[in-house]
Structures are given as C-alpha cells and as structure tokens.
Amino acid sequence: ARYYTHFTSPIRRYPDLILHRLIHRLVLGESNHLKKDIYHFESILSDVSKHTSDQERKAVQMERDVAKLKSCEFMADKVGNHFKAMISQMMPSGMFVKLKNGIEGFVPLRVLDDYYMYDEAHLTFVGRRGKKYKLGDPIKVELLDVDLYQKKMDFQIVDKKQPKKDSKYENYRTKQKGKA
C-alpha cells in the first residue's frame, strides 16, 4: 500500500484523533476543509505531539506513585510482620523484593546478616561466610519501616529457603585469606 495508518478504537490519543478527522474529511470529499485542516495541524502538530507525550509520561508516573502510596498505606499497620517474598531486582545498595500479594519493597544492604559483595555479572550478593542471594530466590522478610511521604517500604531478610554456599566463591575467599 502506498499510504498506511492505524489507530485504536476507541481513539485514546490526540494524534490519532487528528488523523481520524483528516481521513474523515478526505472520505467525505471535503477537500477545501481538508487543506485548511492539514495546514492548521502542520503548524501546531510538533508542539501538540510534545505536549501530549509529556502529559502521558506524567500520567504514567502519577499512576505509579498512587499505586506505591496505596501499597504503603495498606502495609503501614503491618510493621514487624513476616512475609514470603522473592528477590525481584538487585543493585549495589540492596535488593528489591516482591511479596506474594505483588507489593514491592527494598532490603538495604546495611540490614543483611553479613558483609556482602555485589556480583553484578551474576546479579548476586555473596557473603563472607559463603551465603548468597540471587535474583529470583524465594525468601522470608520482615517489614521494618513504611515511609508514606517517600512511598517506600524497607524489609529485612529473616529466612532464606535452602541457603546456598557456592564453592567457587568459598575457594576464592579462602585463597584471598592466604594472600594477606
């Protein structure tokens, strides 16, 4: 096809509405109105597109913020409770955990039970005593704090199902001790 377009029904985005109006004029044979509309939309389309994209990003961010706030409000009276969770994201400062109910929170590195090194290549925290935590691990956590203002929750790990020791890291750690 020489010309092609598509849009959703019902129309949800302003650029789709503009296109729909232009096609409607074309189908009805209103060429004199069509030329005026094309000229008008060409003059404003760049600014309108930028504005609608900015507004869409703001709406998505607001939706995320409201979901975080509602999660925090729901959990506010549960400080000290234990929950089954899964490690959903890792970073040098700690790990994010996702509870069975879908709520997410953060386990700061400072609350872990050992000194842990972050292995970014393997998305793993490895402790001096050989225990390791990796992305996707099932764990049990305790809710430490809920901050409604910042819309965040902090947890600490209280139990990891089947703690693993990795001989590769244990051997490395032992070799490093011998070099000191």
Q: What's the pLDDT tens digit per position in 44-101?
A: 878 887 888 898 899 999 999 999 999 999 999 999 999 999 999 999 999 999 999 9
- 131 phi, psi to nearest 5 deg: -70, 145
Task: Select from 71, 90, 119 the last residue of a domain.
Answer: 71
How far, CA to CA in Å, does 86 sit from each of 44, 108, 115?
48, 15, 21
pTM of the model: 0.67
Please report the pLDDT score of residue 171 as a whole number.
Answer: 47
Question: Residue 118 sits in which domain range?
Answer: 79-179
pLDDT digits (tens, 9 = 90+) for 106-155: 999 999 989 999 999 999 999 999 899 999 999 999 999 999 999 999 99
Q: What is the DSSP letter of 77?
A: G
Task: Select from 54, 71, 88 the last residue of a domain.
Answer: 71
83 and 171 inside one domain: yes
137 and 174 inside one domain: yes
Peptide bond into 163 cis (omega under 30): no
Q: Determine, yes or no, domain membership for 44.
A: yes
38 and 93 inside one domain: no
Picking from 119, 75, 117, the residue whose alpha carbon sits closest to that of residue 97 is 75
Confidence of residue 172 (pLDDT cuts 50, 70, 90): very low
32 and 111 inside one domain: no
Task: Select from 71, 95, 110 the last residue of a domain.
Answer: 71
Number of domains in the chain: 2
89 and 162 inside one domain: yes
Please report the pLDDT score of residue 73 as a whole number.
Answer: 98
